């Protein structure tokens, strides 16, 4: 009982925390988190009736998909897989968890976000953090040196969720990668072409694909006087330029990372540059940059890339941007990231507690690059398999599509039912079961109400609500005459069709639609 008293004290205190946050109009995510803690405390002592109370929620940073969201999700997936298949990709699947050591040393500072499984005896396991590292492990394990594959699956990151902006702890990645020893920039250009095709087809508004190259970044750091052992950490700071001002980035470099002011200022000049093929040409002539062999190799490849993208008619959306860095450790060559330039997610409707309306850019929706060393990290003899790939970040795209669907008048159907079998009188359950079974056996999508004697009106209402186009009505008279009354829901037109002709008639009318 002492325990119980303690918990009740804790509940009181936690209740105060929640009230305070609400009165301060704190963010929904923050309030949700504290409310969850409160509910868990309450669950420990049980509800009013002394019965154990469940905390009815999904894990932090995750969500269920309801049927309407699934319908939208399937539409997006079908566009994406359609594109991947058009480019000749196979698909593979890997387990949701890997040996912990498979993931070790691949993600730089982000490794702290990996979910580990509890040690229940046996191997130490972690949930996958992306699909790229499992792909590299798969290639090395099966000694595959050539493959073009896609993989659509969920990955897991213990990040700070911001669900209204489409940032979750469980989220889908749609990856396309080309592995193999090929001539420069041909597979790389195809990856960018794929991003261009998918973002155009999804019709999310205008977008921009930024490209850069790890070798250009490293070369730039070298000629600006960054010490070798600071390349990675300075790179992480440059990566924040999409969220922070140059002044703040400069401050972090100098004050936190101990870079000299001169070096920081030189970097500042380069990372403000954006352009196309002509910028790569200009930098190849740049007195300082041209001192780095690495940078020159990267710049020549950027030039080649742009020449291929011209043939693909994709240069309109591609920008060579020296501020693009990307955090992951494993990139070795070209890197890229796509951002939507128009779409803003208005969070007001879903985030009422915030009070004010807030418009948030959804940020990057695709990213990738070349990682020629990753497979070699898994091979016992260090044999390398060059790879380049792209990952489409689906959750942010879902957020936009969902809001579009919400805003449009168009009703999203969540089933594909073509016909509902209904009865006009009582005691016709057996006849309905017989007919619906005939339809199923003929491959027609059909359903009936699971009641012995449903009302005709409620059966018809169900059709209207769920968008079922046809109704097959059975009554005493129809049974006597060997017909079914077929009703078109939209026009309310009704006609008698002989049982023998019914299936053909339904097929004809639903293929028309």
Which one of 187, 367, 389, 475 is in contact with a copy of itself (CB under 8 A)?
187
170 binds a copy of itself per the rule CB under 8 A: yes
Per-residue x/- mask for a copy of itself, residues 444 to 483, rule CB under 8 A?
A: xxxx--xxx-------------------------------
412 binds a copy of itself (CB under 8 A): no
Where does residue 411 rank: exposed (0-12), middle (13-18), buried (19+ CB within 10 A)?
exposed
Measured N-to-C along each axis, helices 293-311 and 186-202 cross at an angle, to the nearest 10 degrees, of 50
Q: How far apart are the first and last CA of the chain?
A: 67
Binders of a copy of itself among 344-383, rule CB under 8 A? Answer: 377-378, 380, 382
User: Does residue 90 bind a copy of itself (CB under 8 A)?
Assistant: yes
Which residue number, 176 or 221, has a Cβ lying nearer to a copy of itself? 176
CA distance 109 to 233: 9
C-beta contacts of 425-434 below 8 A and 24+ residues apart: 425/475, 425/476, 426/453, 427/452, 427/453, 428/474, 428/475, 428/479, 429/453, 431/474, 431/479, 432/474
Instruction: Based on the shown chain and the rule CB under 8 A, indicate whether residue 384 belongs to the binding site for a copy of itself.
Output: no
Residue 425 CB, nearest distance to a copy of itself (Å)?
A: 16
Query: What pairing do the DSSP bridges indicate for beta strands 90-91 and 147-156?
Result: parallel
Q: Which is nearer to a copy of itself, 146 or 272 (CB)?
A: 146
- What 8-state DSSP symbol labels residue 175? E
| Min CB(247)–a copy of itself separation in Å | 34
Q: What is the smallest separation between the CB atom of 123 and a copy of itself, expressed in angstroms?
A: 6
Q: Decide if residue 406 touches a copy of itself (CB under 8 A).
A: no
Measured from the CB atom, the residue of 64 and 316 that comes closer to a copy of itself is 64
> Which 28-57 positions form the footprint of a copy of itself (CB under 8 A)?
36, 40, 43, 47, 51, 53-57
Q: Are 478 and 496 in contact (CB under 8 A)?
A: yes
Backbone angles phi, psi at 59, to 5 degrees: -60, 150
Rounding to the nearest 10 degrees, give the CA dihedral for residues 239, 241, 242, 248: 130
Q: Among 66-74, 218-226, 401-409, 484-492, which window interacts with a copy of itself (CB under 8 A)?
A: 66-74
Residue 330 binds a copy of itself, judged by CB under 8 A: no
User: Using CA atoms, how far apart are residues 238 and 235, in angstroms rounded to an integer?
Assistant: 5
Token pair recorded at residue 40: 């868990």
Task: Kindly state the smallest distance separating residue 241's Cβ from a copy of itself, in Å.
Answer: 30
Among 313, 408, 491, 511, binds a copy of itself (CB under 8 A): 313
Q: Are strands 419-423 and 470-474 parallel, antiparallel or unpaired?
A: parallel
* HSE (side-chain half, CA atoms, 13 Å) at 360: 23
The minimum distance between CB 251 and a copy of itself, in angstroms, equals 30
Q: Distances from the Cα of 255 to the Cαs of 64, 217, 234, 235, 248, in angstroms?
A: 43, 21, 12, 15, 10
Residues in binding contact with a copy of itself, number by CB under 8 A: 97
Q: Does 101 engage in binding with a copy of itself (CB under 8 A)?
A: yes
**Considering only residues 21, 220, 417, 483, which one is a binding residue for a copy of itself as defined by CB under 8 A?**
417
Q: Give me the 130-159 binding string for a copy of itself, x by CB under 8 A, dash otherwise.
A: -------xx-xxx----xxx----x-x-x-
Phi, psi of 412 (to 5 degrees): -85, 115
Among 4, 16, 19, 186, binds a copy of itself (CB under 8 A): 186
Residue 161 or 298 with smaller CB distance to a copy of itself: 161
CA 116 to chain centre: 22
Smallest gap, in angstroms, from Cβ of residue 59 to a copy of itself?
5
Among 23, 24, 118, 229, binds a copy of itself (CB under 8 A): 118
Min CB(244)–a copy of itself separation in Å: 27
Which residue in the set 21, 97, 152, 252 belongs to the binding site for a copy of itself (CB under 8 A)? 97
Helix (H/G/I), strand (E/B), else coil: 505? helix
Shorter beta-carbon distance to a copy of itself: residue 170 or 281 = 170
Strands 387-393 and 170-179 come out as antiparallel
User: For residues 67-86, which are near a copy of itself according to CB under 8 A?
Assistant: 67, 70, 73, 85-86
Two tokens at 112? 């702290």
Cα distance between residue 224 and residue 437, in whole Å: 75
Is the CB of 147 or the CB of 324 nearer to a copy of itself? 147
Q: Is residue 138 within 8 Å of 92, Cβ to Cβ?
A: yes
| Interactions with a copy of itself, residue window 207-246 (CB under 8 A) | none
With contacts defined by CB under 8 A, name the span among 182-190, 260-268, 391-399, 483-491 that binds a copy of itself.
182-190
């Amino acid at each position: 009982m002492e325990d119980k008293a303690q918990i009740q004290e804790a509940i009181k205190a936690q209740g105060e925390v929640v009230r305070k946050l609400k009165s301060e109009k704190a963010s929904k995510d923050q309030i949700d988190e504290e409310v969850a803690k409160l509910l868990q405390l309450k669950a420990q002592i049980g509800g009013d009736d002394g019965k154990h109370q469940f905390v009815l929620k999904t894990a932090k940073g995750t969500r269920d998909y309801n049927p309407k969201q699934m319908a939208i999700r399937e539409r997006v997936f079908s566009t994406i897989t359609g594109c991947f298949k058009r480019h000749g990709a196979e698909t593979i699947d890997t387990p949701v968890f890997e040996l912990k050591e498979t993931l070790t040393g691949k993600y730089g500072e982000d490794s702290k976000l990996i979910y580990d499984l509890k040690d229940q005896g046996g191997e130490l396991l972690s949930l996958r953090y992306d699909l790229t590292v499992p792909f590299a492990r798969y290639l090395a394990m099966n000694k595959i040196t050539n493959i073009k594959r896609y993989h659509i699956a969920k990955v897991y990151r213990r990040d700070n969720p911001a669900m209204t902006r489409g940032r979750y702890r469980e989220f889908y990645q749609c990856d396309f990668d080309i592995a193999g020893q090929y001539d420069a920039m041909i597979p790389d250009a195809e990856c960018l072409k794929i991003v261009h095709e998918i973002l155009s087809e999804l019709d999310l508004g205008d977008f921009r694909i930024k490209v850069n190259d790890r070798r250009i970044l490293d070369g730039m750091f070298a000629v600006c006087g960054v010490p070798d052992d600071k390349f990675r950490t300075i790179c992480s700071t440059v990566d924040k330029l999409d969220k922070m001002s140059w002044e703040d980035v400069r401050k972090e470099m100098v004050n936190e990372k101990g870079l000299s002011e001169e070096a920081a200022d030189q970097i500042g000049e380069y990372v403000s540059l954006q352009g196309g093929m002509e910028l790569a040409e200009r930098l190849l002539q740049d007195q300082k940059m041209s001192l780095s062999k690495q940078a020159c190799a990267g710049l020549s490849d950027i030039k080649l890339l742009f020449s291929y993208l011209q043939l693909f008619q994709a240069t309109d959306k591609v920008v060579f941007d020296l501020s693009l860095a990307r955090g992951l450790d494993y990139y070795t060559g070209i890197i890229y990231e796509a951002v939507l330039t128009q779409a803003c997610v208005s969070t007001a409707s879903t985030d009422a507690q915030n009070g004010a309306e807030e418009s948030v850019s959804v940020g990057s929706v695709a990213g990738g690059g070349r990682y020629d060393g990753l497979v070699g990290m898994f091979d016992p003899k260090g044999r390398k398999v060059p790879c380049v790939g792209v990952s489409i970040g689906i959750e942010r795209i879902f957020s936009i599509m969902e809001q579009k669907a919400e805003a449009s008048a168009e009703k999203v159907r969540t089933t594909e039912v073509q016909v509902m079998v209904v009865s006009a009188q009582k005691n016709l359950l057996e006849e309905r079961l017989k007919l619906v079974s005939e339809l199923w056996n003929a491959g027609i999508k059909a359903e009936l109400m699971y009641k012995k004697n449903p009302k005709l009106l409620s059966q018809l209402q169900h059709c209207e609500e769920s968008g079922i186009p046809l109704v097959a009505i059975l009554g005493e008279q129809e049974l006597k005459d060997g017909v079914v009354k077929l009703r078109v829901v939209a026009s309310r037109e009704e006609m008698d069709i002989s049982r023998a002709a019914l299936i053909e008639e339904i097929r004809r009318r639903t293929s028309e639609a």
